[in-house]
Amino acid sequence: MARILIVEARFYAHLNDLLLAGARAAIEAAGHEHDTLTVPGALEVPGAIALADESGDYDAFVALGVIIRGETYHFEVVSNESARGIMDLTLSGLTIGNGILTVENEDQALARSDPARLDKGGGAAEAALALLALRERFVG
């Protein structure tokens, strides 16, 4: 049984509730345990994962959050840098499913976060579990 840490950027609580529901359901359906850690925004997710990994308590991570385009360049900075941070950690050997949504509007976010629709939270958890299985296969 693996222990998974879900790290969520809690900026849009109603959307994150849906992402969390999907992620938790996927992890539980696979027979694993999970904890949840909340951070203020998507830029904090990679740093929180890196810190949590130092504990050695977790086998995999799920990154969740929602970034909705606004009127400024901030959207690109947050989208790109959070994705880059997660990818850097993944390439260093961590198993992370990235469920940080980058969308144009709330309707797109709702469609992607809802477990009854596109279930990107569940998909991110499944991606983390798939990477965990690959790590166990290739690294041991």
* pLDDT tens track, the chain, 140 positions: 999 999 999 999 999 999 999 999 999 999 999 999 999 999 999 999 999 999 999 999 999 999 999 988 899 999 999 999 999 999 999 999 999 999 999 999 999 999 999 999 999 999 999 999 999 999 98
Write the class of the CATH domain 3-138. Answer: alpha beta
Q: Where are the domains of the chain?
A: 3-138
Predicted model pTM: 0.97
The binding site for 5-amino-6-(D-ribitylamino)uracil comprises 11, 42-44, 66-68, 98
The binding site for (2S)-2-hydroxy-3-oxobutyl phosphate comprises 71-72, 112
Q: Which residues are catalytic?
A: 74
Q: What is the 3-state secondary structure (H, E, C) of the chain?
A: CCEEEEEEECCCHHHHHHHHHHHHHHHHHCCCEEEEEEECCHHHHHHHHHHHHHCCCCCEEEEEEEEECCCCCHHHHHHHHHHHHHHHHHHCCCCEEEEEEEECCHHHHHHHHCCCCCCHHHHHHHHHHHHHHHHHHHCC
